[in-house]
Each structure stands twice: as C-alpha cells, then as structure tokens.
Amino acid sequence: MTDLRPASRYRFGVFEADATTAELRRQGVRVKLNAQPFQVLCLLLDRPGELLTREEIARELWPDGTFVDFEHGVNSAVNRIREALGDTAGNPRFVETLARRGYRFVAPVERIGLVVTHNPHSPGSLSPMPIEATFSSPQPDIGPFSGILASPRDLPKVSYPLVQTLFLLLQLMYLGFYVGALANLVEIEDLFAAVPNVTLLMIVMIVTAAILIPVRAFVICMVLLHAPRAREKFLKLWRLLLPLDELWALAPFLLLHHINFGLALSCTALLVFGPFVQRSLVLMGAGQAALGMLPSDPEDVGQKIR
C-alpha cells in the first residue's frame, strides 16, 4: 500500500525550498535566508495565489504571549525574502503585496511530496520509495492560452514610467478607433456597400464601440489612479476584451478611403498582437504603485526614510 507524505519541498522558477532542512537553493546553489523569513516563504509557497494576511504570518512566527512589533517583523521578513529571490515590491515576480491586507505568492509553484509504502510484513512501518510525486499550483491564466501566455517571471524588468506610458497609449489608441468609427458612420457604411449583411456589420461595429468606450475609460482611470488590485481586475477583464480587441484589429480597413490595402493589412497584423502586449505591460507593473511615488509596501517607506 502506498501513501503520500505532505509536500516538504517546493520548486518555483530557478529556486527550490526544502522545508525539512530550511534551505533555499538557486539552481542548486544555497541562498542565505534566516529562519523566520524562510518560515514566511514556506507559508506563501504552501498557498500560492492566495492572500496570506499579516495577522496569519504573525500567529505563525510569534505564538500567543509573545510581545513583539509584528508589523515591523513581518515587513522585515518579507524584505529579506525579496532580497534572496531578487524580487521587488514594485514589480513583483514572486511575492506580491496586497496593500493593507497581506501578501501573495504569484509565481507557479511545484510541490514535491515523497511517496511511501506500507510494508505488510511489518505493520506500521513505512518504506520510502525513490519516487517523487509533483503537484502544480493553479496557474494565473487557465484556458486555451495557459501554456502560451507569459507569466511575470518570463518578462523583463522595465522602468515603471515606460510601462505605464505604453499601456496608456494603447488604451488611447483603442479609444481613437471607437470614436473615429462612430464619427464617420456615413463613410464607413459607403465602404461596406459591397459587403453582404451591411446592416449587421454596422450594428456590430456601433454596439461594440459604444460598449468599449466606457470600458477603456474605466481601464485608464484604474491604471492612472493605481486602483487596489488593478492587475487582477484587468487580467479578468482581459479575457472578455480579447475577442473584441481582435475584432477591432481590423479597424485599419475602415480607413481604406485614405490608405491602401497593403498598409491596412500591415497595421492589422500588428494590432492582432495588441491584446497580448497590454497583458504583458500589466504584468510588468502598469497600474501598480511606482516605487518612490506610492510605495506598495510599508517596508519600502522605511527604506526611503533611511
């Protein structure tokens, strides 16, 4: 009879954490991390993608009856984890701060548990087998593109102003498409004259443009104002925007009275990639508080004061 012991090792990116030996390794090389930060790391790894509150961390690190400034202690532990992983609060690849709530481990985690066998000739004894069973944590993007879409650790570290500016320019570009189309309905209807189902095409264009104008305005405000959980909200919205953005990638063909067919086709080919660029820019930090402007972690405030 076989059984599976609880996972004691975790793999994420190029790192591996062994809860049994309290060791963190990067590509096999041990990375120095003290006991309390390592304990917090294991708590995060055990619940990837889930919120781990500061209070939960404090209860694990300091049992009842222990008097300590747990806010400072938790911040310090998370800061040490980020240093060991080469991570940042402003552009997290592993540990994300949820303002005034806690932390969340955002990278995929592979849990490794040891398969053991019960020896029927010796009741109660366990014989470890040289086999490891692995369990993958839930991915942030589940669906047909889950194996293709980039994750935060796949993307380069880019300056916050650049990422923010590029994302906002893309939103303004889409807004320009919608407003321009609605402002030139007569010209576009004339362009569609040779296409079957002109009325249906016009209705689709008008309805989608009317819906997407407030949606783009919402996204722009959310990013400019650094709304809480802006990244999570956009990633959920992105799945709904994807088919509409791909449809509006054909927008250059609405300008055939002003540009030639080849240029319209070239622009459309670029716009097909637009939704995926938006998603990558959000994962790279668009919409999150920039370090030095709106610190997303109290420990960063302390660092700047010092």
Q: What is the pLDDT of residues 83-135, one digit of tens each?
A: 999 999 888 999 999 988 899 999 999 888 654 545 555 444 444 444 444 44
| 48 domain residue, yes or no | yes
165 domain residue, yes or no: yes
pLDDT digits 0-9 by tens, 40-69:
999 999 889 899 998 888 888 776 655 456
User: Based on the number of CB atoms within 10 Å of its own CB, is 237 exposed (0-12), middle (13-18) or buried (19 or more)?
Assistant: middle
- Does residue 138 have a pLDDT over 70? no
What is the CA 36 to chain-centroid distance, rounded? 26
pLDDT band of residue 250 (cuts 50, 70, 90) is: very high
How many residues does the structure list for the chain?
Answer: 306
What whole-number distance in Å separates Cα of residue 152 and Cα of residue 11?
16
Q: Is 129 part of any domain?
A: no
Higher pLDDT, 123 or 24: 24
Least confident of 12-21, 95-104, 152-161, 203-212: 152-161
Q: Does residue 108 contact residue 12 with C-beta atoms inside 8 Å?
A: yes
* 301 inside domain: no
Note whether residue 296 is domain-resident.
no
In a domain, 130, yes or no: no
- Judged against a pLDDT cut of 90, whether residue 171 lies above it is answered with yes
User: What is the pLDDT averaged over residues 235-246?
Assistant: 92
291 inside domain? no
**160 and 266 both lie in a single domain:** yes
176 and 276: one domain? yes
The answer to whether residue 305 is domain-embedded is: no
Q: Supply the pLDDT for residue 193.
A: 84
Q: Cβ–Cβ contacts within 10 Å for residue 61, how many?
A: 19
- State if pTM tops 0.85: no
Cβ contact 89:97 at 8 Å: yes
Question: What total of structural domains would you count in the chain?
Answer: 2
At residue 296, the pLDDT reads 40
Indicate the residue type of 136: S
Same domain, 87 and 10: yes
Same domain, 165 and 240: yes
**Number of DSSP helices (H) and strands (E) in the chain, helices first:** 10, 10
* CATH number of the domain that residue 88 is part of: 1.10.10.10
* Cα separation, 297 vs 96, whole angstroms: 9
Mean pLDDT (whole number) for 162-182: 93
Residues 96 and 210 in one domain: no
What span, in angstroms and rounded, lies between the C-alpha atoms of 269 and 224?
29
Domain range spanning residue 20? Answer: 2-105
* pLDDT mean over 197-221: 94
Q: Are 254 and 220 in contact (CB under 8 A)?
A: no
More confident residue, 295 or 42: 42
